[in-house]
Amino acid sequence: MASGEKGTRRLTILGSTGSIGTNTLDVVERLGGRDRFQIAALTGNGNIPLLAEQARRVGAELAVTADEHRYGELKDALAGSGIEVAAGRSGLTEAAERDAGWLMAAIVGNAGLAPTLAAARRGADIALANKECLVSAGSLFIEAVSKGGGRLLPVDSEHNAIFQVLENDQRHAVERVVLTASGGPFRTKTLDEMRHVTADIARAHPNWSMGLKISIDSASMFNKALEMIEARHLFRLRPDQIEVIVHPQSVVHSMVGYSDGSVLAQLGCPDMRTAIGYALSYPKRCELPIERLDFAKLARLDFEAPDETRFPALRLARRAMEAGGIQGAVLNGAKETALEAFIKGRIGFLAMAEIVEKVMDLLSDLPAAVTMDDVFAADKKARQTAAGLI
């Protein structure tokens, strides 16, 4: 692990101004801050005041805005601090390639692919929160991590839960993994009720505090669909080994079932800092001020099968996994375009899955990805096709 002048661990946080990024900095500061960690680089997008404040607070060496037009604004905000400033795609790559043994990959969307891949290739340990790396470029990304020699540490709560209870010396005995889903705000709604919901209604998650897009993805269960595809690559599973169960309390984060009938589960209060802290301190555990489970107050845990008629995203994920090749990128690209249209009020909530399925039908014969350019091309084609349908 790379270290700084005082023997501190060097870290980079891609996407430091988002919910994952801000919680990562919270964990870093609670675990010793500058006494234990040197922040090599922070990156953000449009929230320049927050990015500058974070960089000054933690003493980052480099601050990067993904928006190349905001370079001057960030440079002015950090004037006199001694902190280097960069912008745009090249700036993100510079941040990822900077000497740091551990990198949080929390940039949302395809913008996070290239810098995360660059960090993987140089051998950094990747705390992975970006979904596109595995959904769109799964085999290529896993190969890059393997060749680079770093570790892949899942930060998503469900995948982190599996990571915690999947016994490496018992992988041969794994029968299934079970991803839990809260069911979101529409768990008990009818199709007719869901047909008329707005983005403001869909963003109101009952258990987690998240950004707009991921909250709506949770409401449609597209978030869970992407997690199914990610799990396949992360844990080298067959599609038929991946199950989803609705668990409204969000206390059991995921489970692993073994050939002797045992099921190991990871439980905890819904707080993303648990997964972040585990990824940062792995293979040890750290001390964090997370609310402790009170089983007496909890009283009950509910589970129910997901309704794929109301939430067809799960069925589409299985279809993408079984088809293999580039279909994960097709599903994700179409989903992103449909999601943007829903947020802008151009289509209804249920139309998102309908559009994604139509795009998958139309692009079912795309060849498998050999390079990252193939991934980007498939994503672009999916987005264009979805836009045409909208």
pLDDT tens per residue across span 223-238: 999 999 999 999 999 9
Tell me whether residue 205 is annotated as binding.
Answer: yes
pLDDT tens per residue across span 319-334: 999 998 899 999 999 9
Tell me whether residue 284 is annotated as binding.
Answer: no
Tell me whether residue 159 is annotated as binding.
Answer: no
Tell me whether residue 333 is annotated as binding.
Answer: no
pLDDT tens per residue across span 280-324: 999 999 999 999 999 988 888 999 999 999 999 999 999 999 998
* C-alpha torsion sign, points 82, 14, 51, 65: positive
* Angstrom distance (rounded) from CA 170 to CA 387: 46
Tell me whether residue 227 is annotated as binding.
Answer: yes
Tell me whether residue 220 is annotated as binding.
Answer: no
Tell me whether residue 297 is annotated as binding.
Answer: no
- Of the chain, the percentage scoring pLDDT greater than 70 comes to 96
For residue 72, pLDDT beyond 60: yes
* Angstrom distance (rounded) from CA 156 to CA 109: 15
Enter the pTM of the model. 0.91
* Angstrom distance (rounded) from CA 33 to CA 57: 10
Burial class (CB in 10 A: 0-12, 13-18, 19+), 266: buried
Residue type, 108: V
- Averaged pLDDT, 337-350: 95
Q: Note the CATH number of domain 7-153.
A: 3.40.50.720
pLDDT tens per residue across span 176-196: 999 999 998 899 999 999 999
Dihedral of CA atoms 375, 377, 382, 388 in degrees, nearest 10, equals 170
Tell me whether residue 364 is annotated as binding.
Answer: no
Q: What is the DSSP letter of 112?
A: G
Residues 6+ apart with CB under 8 A from 93: 114, 115, 118
pLDDT of the residue at 63:
98
Helix 113-121 with 372-389: angle, nearest 10 deg: 160
Tell me whether residue 81 is annotated as binding.
Answer: no
* Angstrom distance (rounded) from CA 355 to CA 317: 14
Residues 6+ apart with CB under 8 A from 38: 3, 4, 5, 6, 8, 9, 10, 11, 59, 61
Which regions of the chain carry the CATH code 3.40.50.720?
7-153
Q: What are the DSSP calls for 191-249, one per residue?
A: HHHHHT--HHHHT--SS----HHHHHHHHHTHHHHHHHHHHHHHTT--GGGEEEEE-TT
pLDDT of the residue at 1:
38
Tell me whether residue 158 is annotated as binding.
Answer: yes
Tell me whether residue 88 is annotated as binding.
Answer: no
- Of the chain, the percentage scoring pLDDT greater than 90 comes to 87
Helix 313-323 with 327-343: angle, nearest 10 deg: 150
Tell me whether residue 218 is annotated as binding.
Answer: yes
pLDDT tens per residue across span 228-282: 999 999 999 999 999 999 999 999 999 999 999 999 999 999 899 999 999 999 9
* Angstrom distance (rounded) from CA 192 to CA 165: 39
CA distances to 98, 197, 212, 217, 314 from 204, in Å: 38, 11, 9, 11, 21
pLDDT tens per residue across span 132-162: 999 999 999 999 999 999 999 999 999 999 9
Residues 6+ apart with CB under 8 A from 221: 181, 184, 306, 311, 313, 314
Tell me whether residue 332 is annotated as binding.
Answer: no
Tell me whether residue 6 is annotated as binding.
Answer: no
- Averaged pLDDT, 341-360: 96
Question: What tokens does 130 get?
Answer: 């970006």
Residue 342 backbone class (left: φ over 0; alpha: ψ -120 to 50; beta: rest): alpha
Neighbours of 249 (CB within 10 A): 18
Residues 6+ apart with CB under 8 A from 368: 324, 325, 326, 374
Question: What tokens does 345 get?
Answer: 């009020």
For residue 4, pLDDT beyond 70: no
